[in-house]
Every structure is written in structure tokens, then in C-alpha cells.
Amino acid sequence: MTEAIPRRTLGRTGIEVGVLGLGTVKLGRNQGVKYPRGFALPDDSAVRDLLGLAADLGINLIDTAPAYGSSEERLGELLPGPRERWVLGTKVGEEFGAGVSRHDFSPAAVRASVERSLRRLRTDWLDLVLVHSDGADLEIIEHSGALETLAELKRAGKLRAFGMSTKTLAGGLRAAELCDLLMVTWNLDHDDEVPVIDRCRELGTGVLIKKALASGHAATGGDPVRAAFARLLAHAGVGSLVVGTIDPDHLRANAVAARACLRRDSSRAGDG
């Protein structure tokens, strides 16, 4: 039997997620992405196998977005098992079509995006919904009405927790005060947003990490992966590292690395 990865609670949300989450951009989009090598979208059989493997490894957090092409629709059709097994996170604010991204953070667009994601994912509720920032974090927070709209949708029972995938230090620090959770960038080459994670820890705001392996530009196996996971998961404010892959071997290796890092930390704590 496969040993499941540990779980952590996302801040004050009460939602438990595996310390490794599965990013799914590669299930639905292979244009305009920043990976070091091109790739073909996996067929339905490969997606089913990948999602089944994720479940076996104890991964329950699935991260998707309207900007990820057909990812939401494919997950809605192919995600195995009972809905309660999964923590489904999606986003609002960005669309991708005809090779270009378009952004709309207005209340009407946010509401329409959530309703569409519910249909695409074939679910009655979304666990996590994040604003998919275009980089103008403070402008979105202060003037778009996107976060206020997500708060209303949460009260209506459409989603369990909301937040923002931020791109700036100032935006992250402000969003930490207003959101249930954030998604921020942190890897061995980029630690500018660690103060945001520290602040989230103080406030009880959940944290998801994106680009933990620098969008595939870090090595996909061996010490660099374990070094990254060890540093990031050592922060008590981090709930889960969202790593995208369509390679089963990489998914297994990432789960092994996450388990090993946390097992080592636990042993050290016991020795102390």
C-alpha cells in the first residue's frame, strides 16, 4: 500500500490538503506556457491514470483555472471517486483563447466565471477560488470588486474559501488581510514573497505555493527537488506546494520527496 503524503490545514479555513497538490494546466493547455520543453496534451486514459495515482498518493488538492484551456472540463469528466475526496481549486479573472490571455475582474465576470466553473467541474460547490492576478494586485484588490464578489459567493454557498494568486509583495501583504488564502511564488531562486507567507501565518490566512520548482526549470528529480521541498515545507505557514505534471514518474518522485522532507523534520523534532 502506498504511503500517503501528510496533510495540513489551510489556515483558518479548516480545509485539509495534502502538502503536495496537483496543478493541471498541462491537462488543457500547451500554448503560451513557460515550461522549458513543449508537450502534447495527454489523452483521457492518461489523465484518468494520473488522477488515480494522485489519489493513491494521498494528493487531494487539484488546482485548475479557466485560463488552463480545457482543464476544467476534463477534470469534470475524468476526476475519479466521490466529490468529497477532492479539494477543487479554480480561479477567476483570466481567460485564454486564440493564443492570448484576457483579464476581467469585474463583479459580473467573477460571478459568471464561478458559475461556469461549477458547470465545467460538474460540482455543486468549489472548495477554493482565487483571483488570477495579471500583476496589478493592488489595483484589483482596491478597485475591481472581485474579492467582495467572491465573499458574497462564499456566503451563498458556491465556494468554501476565496483568495488571490498574487504576483507582488505589496499585493500579497494587502490580500493576506482580506482573504481566506493566498497562492504565492516561492522557490530556491525566488524568495521575495516570504514576508507574505510570514504575514499569512500571523493572520491565519492559508498559503498555497506556486512555481515551487520554477515551472519545470528546476531539475525534475534528485537533490534540487528535495532541497526546494525541504525549505518550503519547513515554513509552518505553507499549506501545500502546487506542482504541475503529467508524468506519473515525476508525480511519484515529488510525493516521495515531500514525505522524506517531512519525515526528516519530524525525526529532528523528536530528537530535540
Residues with catalytic roles: 68
DSSP notation for the chain: -PPPPPEEE-GGG--EEESEEEE-HHHH--SS---SS--PPP-HHHHHHHHHHHHHHT--EEE--GGGTTHHHHHHHH--S-GGG-EEEEEESEEEETTEEEE--SHHHHHHHHHHHHHHHT-S-EEEEEEE--S-HHHIIIII-HHHHHHHHHHTTSEEEEEEE--SHHHHHHHHHH-SEEEEE-BTTB-TTHHHHHHHHHHT-EEEEE-TTGGGTS-SSSHHHHHHHHHHHTSTT--EEEEE---HHHHHHHHHHHHHHHHHHHHHHHH-
Q: What angle do CA 151, 167, 116 make, to 5 degrees?
A: 45
Tell me how far apart the alpha carbons of residues 205 and 171 are, in angstroms, rounded to a whole number: 14
| Cell output for 196 | 507574505
